[in-house]
Each structure stands twice: as C-alpha cells, then as structure tokens.
C-alpha cells in the first residue's frame, strides 16, 4: 500500500493554483486603482485647408509668422515697355562730322580722341595735289574778279559821259558779278582748311568747325583719303541723345515727349519718332534727349544698353507691384488684403510692365486697394480663386 502524502507534497500541488489566483487578484486591484484617461481635446480648424472664394481670415500672429506683406494698387498712368536696345550719341545740333575737302595723304595727327578743341583749331595735316590746283584756281578767280570789277567801274564812268552804250555797261556788270561769284566759291572751298605753316607744297590743316571734344578719330598717319571722307567727329559738351527702337505695334502711342527710363535710374525724353519701319525687325527708330545733370553723366557716346519706354496706360488699367503677381495656369492671380481677410482675384488682362510695376485689368480691385506682395505662394494653397 502507498503511504499517505506528506504536508510538503500537498503544498507543491497547491502552489500553481495559488499563483494563478494571486495574479488575478493583483490584476483586479490594478484595474480598480488605474488613473483615468484624459478627455479628448477637439482640434481647432486650420487655415491650411482650402477656403471658399470669399477668402480666408488670418490672425495677426499668422500674418507675421508667414511674412505676409502688402502694397497699394494705383491707377495706371504709364505702361512700361522694357528691354529696348539703345545707344548713346552726341546731340544732332551740337555735333559735327569733319570731312576731308580734298583728297590727299595724312601727314600728321594733331589731336586724338577725347581731346578738347577750339573752333578753328587744327585737327590733322594732309598733303594734296588737288589742293595745289584749288589754290591756283582761287588765285585766278581773285584776279578775274578784281579785273572785272575795275572794268565795270570804268564802263560806268564812260556811260555817264555818254561815250559807251548802256548795253556795254550791262555786260561789264554781269561779268563782274560772275567773277565775284567764282571768287566766293573758290574761297568757300578752302574755308575749312589752311595751308600748313612751314609745310610742304599742297599740305593743309583740317580745322575743327566747332568748339568741343573729339569723340572719334577715323584717320591715321600715312592713310590715303578721298575727297569728303570722314576724318573726325567733334561734339559740344552737353546732354547726349539716346537712339533706340520700339515695336511697330505701339506706333499709335509713339509721340515726342514720352519719358524714357535709363538703366541707372536717369531719364530721357523722346524728341523724334521715325516715320518708316525697319522691314527686318518691324520696329521704328526713336531719338530721346538725356536729362541734364548727374543722371546722364555715366554715359559716353557709342555706349549700348537697354531702356524702358513709358507709354500712356489705357484707361481703366491698374498699376500693381510685379512681386504681387502669382502665375496660375495660363494667367495670373492677385491676393487682395482687407485687414486680416485675404481673397484671391484673377487678372483678366496683363498689358505689360517691368521688374517693379505691372499694368493689369482685374475685377475686384480699385486704386487704393492692398495686394499681397510677399507670401503669395502659401496663399495660393489656402484660397480658391474667383
């Protein structure tokens, strides 16, 4: 027969069941004494969600954190037409191109580019065989004019004494007039030069027709020149002209007096508009006069740059900061700001502009309204366009 179990054996058989009961009791105690879960907090609606067409209202903190700034819309008075190729040059009425009156060879250059000159100052020396003939012609013309004048005076005296007929007197007067005209013509041909002092026969000096500065020298020592070849360009000090071209599509708006904006912020004023169109570029030539003072001091004749022509703006158009325009599909958007409320406005027509100002037509805007100039990309994701 088996021996009855001892107390130690009984305890070993009861231990698993007791452990289970103890764990269950501890779990029940934890469930009763656990801390209560916090109540759910409703999340405020965010302005980052799409809003209806009436816009969105942002708090002052949101406006500051997103760096949203705005500027006023104005009624457009001028339509900028930028990027027009231009060149500075001497004013027409204050510059002169010095041409060679007689063919010859340059023997000496007396002034160089940039040099100031007086009226009548020698610019260069040339030796010309043609000049020798012209000087001989002048001597003959002077001699003939003197002889014809003396004969006319004698015939006038004889006519008064009744010795000769009136017809003879008339003939002598006509010869004297023709001889005098020949003398003036011969002297006029040599008016802009003078024989070079101590020079070779047929050597003459080319003279400056006006006082000013030598803008360009087109000749060099030893160069052979034909009659009427250009040798120098001389200009008086003063404002420069700007010549540029504008597309023929704006021909109806081109008139003298239009403002021209220069790259350095200076200004010019249109003084002449071309009457014919360049067939290749379909553009018209214009000439403007730079304003005096420091505005045009940074330019020199021949310098090339781009200008902005300020055309009259069409009625009913608005001038908005270019930074306020946001591309949207085939057009552009503007964001009107009324206090903290901002709504999108679609641009109906973009007429033009430059880096600073654009000229547009847009319903829902009027002069004085505020449009957002910084933060437009964020607003596009917040606001539906009208």
Q: What is the mean pLDDT of residues 60-69?
A: 88
The pLDDT value given to residue 16: 58
**Per-residue pLDDT, 248:** 94
Please provide the average confidence, as pLDDT, over all residues in the chain. Answer: 84
Q: Distance between CA atoms of 236 and 118, rounded to whole angstroms?
A: 10
9 pLDDT exceeds 60? no
The residue behind tokens 């158009």 is: 317
Lowest mean pLDDT among 33-47, 94-108, 343-357: 33-47
Q: What share of the chain is helix, strand, coil (3-state, %, to 5)?
A: 30, 35, 35
Q: Which two tokens stand for residue 329?
A: 């599909």
Whether the pLDDT of residue 286 is over 60: the answer is yes
Of 42-46, 210-214, 260-264, 317-321, where does mean pLDDT reach its minimum? 42-46
Q: Which residues pair with 341 in a beta bridge?
A: 57, 338
Q: How confident is the model at residue 329 (pLDDT cuts 50, 70, 90)?
A: confident
Using pLDDT thresholds of 50, 70 and 90, give the confidence band for residue 380. confident
Check pLDDT > 60 for residue 249: yes
Residue 6 banded pLDDT, cuts 50, 70, 90: low
Distance CA 297, CA 88 (A): 12
Q: How confident is the model at residue 295 (pLDDT cuts 50, 70, 90)?
A: very low
Q: Which two tokens stand for residue 4?
A: 């009855």
- Token readout for 276 is 């014919």
319, 359 contact by CB (below 8 A):
yes
Cα separation, 283 vs 281, whole angstroms: 5
- For residue 133, give the 3-state DSSP assignment: helix
pTM: 0.64
Indicate the pLDDT class of residue 118, thresholds 50, 70 and 90: very high
Q: What string of DSSP letters covers 334-385?
A: EEEEETTEEEEEE-SEEEEE-SSEEEEE-TT--TT-EEEEE-HHHHHHHB-B
How do beta strands 283-290 and 241-247 pair? antiparallel
What confidence score (pLDDT) does residue 58 get?
Answer: 87
How much is the pLDDT for 39?
41
- Residue 99 pLDDT > 50: yes
Give the per-residue pLDDT at 190. Answer: 74
How much is the average pLDDT of 69-89?
94
Q: What is the pLDDT of residues 135-168, one digit of tens each?
A: 888 889 989 999 999 999 998 988 888 888 888 8
**Residue 18's pLDDT band (cuts 50, 70, 90):** low
Burial of 38 (0-12, 13-18, 19+ CB in 10 A): exposed
Q: Which domains does the chain have, with CATH numbers?
A: 56-77+315-382 (2.40.420.20), 81-91+238-312 (2.40.30.170), 94-235 (2.40.50.100)
* 24-46 per-position pLDDT tens digit: 556 555 555 555 444 433 333 34
- Per-residue pLDDT of 192-241, as tens digits, reads 678 888 888 889 999 999 999 999 999 999 999 999 999 999 999 888 99
């Amino acid at each position: 027969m088996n021996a009855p179990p001892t107390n130690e054996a009984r305890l070993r058989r009861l231990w698993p069941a007791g452990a289970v009961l103890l764990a269950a009791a501890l779990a029940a105690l934890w469930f009763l004494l656990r801390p209560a879960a916090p109540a759910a907090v409703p999340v405020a609606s965010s302005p980052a969600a799409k809003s209806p067409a009436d816009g969105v209202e942002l708090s002052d903190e949101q406006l500051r954190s997103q760096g949203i700034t705005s500027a006023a819309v104005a009624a457009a008075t001028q339509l900028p037409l930028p990027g027009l190729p231009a060149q500075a040059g001497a004013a027409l009425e204050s510059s002169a191109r010095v041409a060679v009156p007689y063919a010859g060879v340059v023997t000496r250059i007396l002034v160089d580019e940039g040099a100031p000159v007086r009226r009548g100052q020698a610019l260069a020396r040339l030796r010309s065989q043609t000049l020798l003939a012209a000087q001989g012609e002048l001597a003959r013309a002077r001699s003939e004019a003197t002889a014809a004048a003396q004969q006319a005076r004698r015939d006038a005296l004889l006519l008064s004494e009744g010795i000769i007929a009136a017809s003879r007197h008339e003939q002598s007067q006509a010869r004297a007039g023709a001889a005098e005209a020949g003398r003036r013509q011969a002297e006029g041909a040599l008016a802009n030069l003078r024989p070079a002092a101590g020079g070779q026969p047929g050597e003459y000096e080319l003279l400056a027709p006006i006082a000013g500065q030598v803008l360009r020298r087109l000749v060099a020592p030893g160069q052979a020149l034909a009659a009427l070849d250009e040798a120098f360009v001389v200009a008086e000090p003063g404002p420069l002209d700007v010549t540029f071209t504008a597309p023929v599509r704006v021909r109806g708006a081109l008139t003298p007096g239009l403002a021209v904006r220069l790259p350095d912020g200076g200004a010019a004023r249109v003084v002449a508009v071309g009457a014919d169109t360049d067939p290749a570029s379909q553009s018209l030539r214009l000439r403007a006069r730079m304003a005096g003072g420091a505005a045009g001091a940074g330019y020199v004749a021949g310098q090339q740059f781009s200008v902005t022509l300020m055309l009259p703006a069409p009625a009913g158009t608005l001038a908005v900061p270019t930074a306020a325009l946001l591309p949207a599909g085939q057009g552009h958007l503007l964001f009107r700001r009324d206090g903290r409320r901002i709504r999108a406005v679609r641009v109906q027509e973009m007429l033009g502009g430059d880096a600073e100002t654009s000229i547009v037509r847009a319903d829902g805007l009027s002069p004085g309204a505020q449009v957002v100039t910084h933060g437009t990309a964020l607003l596009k994701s917040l606001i539906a366009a009208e």
